[in-house]
Amino acid sequence: PTTTPLETLSLGQGQWTPQQQQQNINEIVEIPQSFCAYASRFLIKYDEGVQTWWDTQESKYSLLSQDKRQVKLEQSFVSFAKSLEMALQEYVAGNTYDKLWDTFNSKYATNANDKEEIQRQLGILFTMLPPQDQPVSKLRSVGISSSSGSSNDVATFEAENFRTDFTQLLPSLYHCVEKSTPNSFFAIEPEIVGTVLGPSLQREQPLQRPLPQLSPTIYALLGLSGSAACAATHSVVIPLDVVKTRAQTDPEQYSNMLKGIQTVLKGEEGLPGLYLGAQATLVGYCWYGISIYPSYTFFKRYATTELLSPAVATIHMNDIALIAGAMSAVVASLGLTPLEAARIRVVADPATYKSLGLLGTMASIAKEDTESAG
């Protein structure tokens, strides 16, 4: 027979797959829909955060008709179950179902008053896995060898109210039971149809919260709002700033706040003396509000969406907020500090600086600093 050298074979063009991408391809794990649906019910029942979210959903749709309300709640439930399915796929890809059992058990059952009931529910939940995936050793700790109950109980359970009430779990009639085969596995007895546990997840989307779009208009509104708020609040305390500054420069004459106010009112300046430096204060804190709120929003948004991965950003939100706050304060202080210097000069020495106005005072300070530096 004729042979062809390997070098002459045409196999088409290949493409390298990045290692991370290859891992993601291999790590796709199929989770049974019944497991996701019942896990969702379990979390609505026992997880405080999920329970609060579900209560919010029920409250949101409380004014709708019964049929429309049920449709909305079903959509919310399926979206949550779909989100849970995606999270479980990622978790199980790097761990085992035994580890998942331990996580659920330690979080919800270990220190609970109704530990036995929660573990029974966990047993039912993990029995919904394929036999090869079941954590058999864990299930043996909560399973039973036989079950009791009447057919009437089963008929009552399979009523429509369980199908539509996503806060319900299987009653005490149901248990996970070990089957005697060469390869041990568990089954739920009495038998239950998977569709009873919840609607299909096939065509539904997971819960999503779109990232807000921060346009220049939004940043401008943040700056405008901050400017108005800061200027308004600091204008109220201008008299206190005047007395505080005088107390720092002349502590003997302004020994306390009340005496300081009286001294200013009785002096040559009178009532207007309590508002010395008002121009610098208003301009300074207008700038402070204009700059600090948009810059804080920008730094925080940039860190969480551009610099860090979602996983890292999620567990460091407080740190990100602190760093963004510090950086925005630096930006705001760059403009506020010169204006505060001008305000202090006007309050401490009005005879020299009051007549110069804000710009004249700042120019005088710059000239003095230049001369002293020279």
Q: What are 213-263's pLDDT values in tens digits?
A: 788 999 999 999 999 999 999 888 888 888 888 888 888 778 788 878 888
- Does this model's pTM top 0.75? My answer is no
Distance, C-alpha 355 to centroid of its chain: 52
Q: Under CATH, which architecture does the 216-373 domain have?
A: Alpha/alpha barrel (1.50)
Residue 329 has pLDDT above 90, yes or no: yes
Token pair belonging to 9: 């074979």
Q: How confident is the model at residue 207 (pLDDT cuts 50, 70, 90)?
A: low
Residue 24 confidence (pLDDT) = 47
Residue 181 confidence (pLDDT) = 67
- What is the per-residue pLDDT across 64-73, written as a single tens digit (0 to 9) for each? 999 999 989 9
Residue 302 confidence (pLDDT) = 92
Q: What is the mean pLDDT of residues 296-312?
A: 89
User: How far is Cα 233 from Cα 317, in angstroms, rounded to an integer?
Assistant: 29
Q: How confident is the model at residue 137 (pLDDT cuts 50, 70, 90)?
A: confident
- What is the per-residue pLDDT across 102-116, written as a single tens digit (0 to 9) for each? 999 999 998 889 999
Residue 129 confidence (pLDDT) = 92
Q: How confident is the model at residue 35 (pLDDT cuts 50, 70, 90)?
A: very high
Residue 128 has pLDDT above 80, yes or no: yes
User: How far is Cα 189 from Cα 183, in angstroms, rounded to an integer?
Assistant: 19
User: How far is Cα 86 from Cα 369, in angstroms, rounded to an integer?
Assistant: 63
User: How far is Cα 201 from Cα 263, in angstroms, rounded to an integer?
Assistant: 76
Burial state string for 272-311 with b = 16 or more CB within 10 A and e = fewer than 16: ebbbbbbbbbbbbbbbbbbbbbbbbbbbbeebbeeeeeee
Residue 1 has pLDDT above 60, yes or no: no
- What is the CB-side half-sphere exposure of residue 304 using CA atoms within 13 A? 20
Q: What is the mean pLDDT of residues 166-178?
A: 87
Residue bearing tokens 């819960």: 207
Helix, strand, coil share (%) of the chain residues, nearest 5: 70, 5, 30
Q: Where are the alpha helices (DSSP H) in 27-159?
A: 33-46, 48-60, 66-94, 97-104, 115-127, 136-140, 151-157
User: How far is Cα 120 from Cα 124, in angstroms, rounded to an integer?
Assistant: 6
Give the closest residue to 293 by CA, choosing from 226, 217, 228: 226
Q: Which residues pair with 178 in a beta bridge?
A: 186
Residue 314 confidence (pLDDT) = 79
Question: Domain coordinates of the chain in residue numbers?
Answer: 29-197, 216-373
Mean pLDDT, the chain, whole residue set: 82
Compute the CA torsion angle 83, 161, 108, 201 (nearest 10 deg): -20
Phi, psi of 271, rounded to the nearest 5 degrees? -60, -40
DSSP letter for each residue of 132-193: GGS-HHHHHTT-BS-----HHHHHHHTSHHHHH-TT----TT-EEEEE-SSS-EEEEES---
Token pair belonging to 35: 């497991």
Residue 30 confidence (pLDDT) = 86
Cβ-count burial of 351 within 10 angstroms (0-12 exposed, 13-18 middle, 19+ buried)? exposed
User: How far is Cα 271 from Cα 95, in angstroms, rounded to an integer?
Assistant: 73
Residue 9 confidence (pLDDT) = 46
Query: Who has greater pLDDT, 231 or 16?
Result: 231
Residue 149 has pLDDT above 70, yes or no: no
Minimum mean pLDDT among 43-52, 197-206, 241-250, 312-321: which range?
197-206
Residue 353 has pLDDT above 60, yes or no: yes
Give the closest residue to 227 by CA, choosing from 216, 215, 237, 219: 219
Q: What is the mean pLDDT of residues 149-177?
A: 71
Residue 256 confidence (pLDDT) = 80
What single-letter DSSP state applies at residue 210? P
Residue 21 has pLDDT above 60, yes or no: no
Q: What is the largest CA-CA distance in the chain?
A: 120
Residue bearing tokens 């008929």: 155
Q: How confident is the model at residue 19 (pLDDT cuts 50, 70, 90)?
A: very low
Minimum mean pLDDT among 74-78, 83-87, 153-157, 201-205: which range?
153-157
Q: What is the mean pLDDT of residues 332-346?
A: 91
Residue 46 confidence (pLDDT) = 95
209 Cβ partners below 8 Å, 6+ apart?
none
Provide, rounded to the nearest whole percent, the portion of the chain with pLDDT above 70. 82
